[in-house]
């Protein structure tokens, strides 16, 4: 199971990493990309748009299914990983290096409400049974 301890996780399988500039990088977990299979398309959120925590803001499509990506915290989109539009397979290659977008939290405290790596591992085990 690949769950880096330094990241925070949502119960919808997004990871979140606080950056030095106060933004939060977001991507999907190794578990999520493994379940989806080979990704063929990623739609990132529009720059400057604001989202509420838990709101669908991006889409990933694989050979198996399409899946919404949800904002792990409320805030405004400050950056997107445009490289993923032409190379969605980068998420399959390294889910934790291939961030999808960076959001500036309107309430930085929301990051603390996300799951720890240990709690996320428990969620995965529970879902697999």
> What is the percent of the chain with per-residue pLDDT over 70, rounded to a whole number?
100
Tell me what pLDDT residue 35 has: 93
Q: How far is CA 16 from the centre of its chain?
A: 6
Tell me what pLDDT residue 53 has: 97
pTM for this entry: 0.95
Q: Please name the fold of domain 8-101.
A: OB fold (Dihydrolipoamide Acetyltransferase, E2P) (2.40.50)
What residue spans define the domains of the chain? 8-101
Burial 77-98 (b: 16+ CB within 10 A, else e): bbbbbeebeeebebbbeebbeb
CA distance 64 to 73: 28
> What is the percent of the chain with per-residue pLDDT over 90, rounded to a whole number?
93
Tell me what pLDDT residue 127 has: 85
Dump pLDDT digits (tens) for 22-71: 999 999 999 999 999 999 999 999 999 999 999 999 999 999 899 999 99
Sheet-wide strand order for 56-62: 39-43, 56-62, 66-70
pLDDT > 80? residue 115: yes
């Amino acid at each position: 199971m690949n769950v880096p301890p330094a990241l925070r996780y949502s119960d919808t399988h997004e990871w979140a990493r606080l950056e030095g500039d106060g933004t939060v990088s977001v991507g999907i977990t190794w578990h999520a990309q493994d379940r989806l299979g080979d990704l063929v398309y990623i739609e990132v959120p529009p720059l400057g748009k604001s989202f509420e925590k838990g709101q669908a803001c991006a889409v990933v499509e694989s050979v198996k299914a399409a899946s919404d990506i949800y904002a792990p915290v409320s805030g405004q989109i400050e950056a997107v990983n445009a490289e993923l539009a032409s190379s969605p397979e980068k998420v399959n290659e390294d889910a934790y290096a291939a961030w999808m977008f960076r959001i500036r939290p309107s309430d930085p405290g929301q990051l603390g409400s996300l799951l720890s790596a240990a709690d996320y591992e428990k969620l995965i085990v529970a879902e697999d049974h």
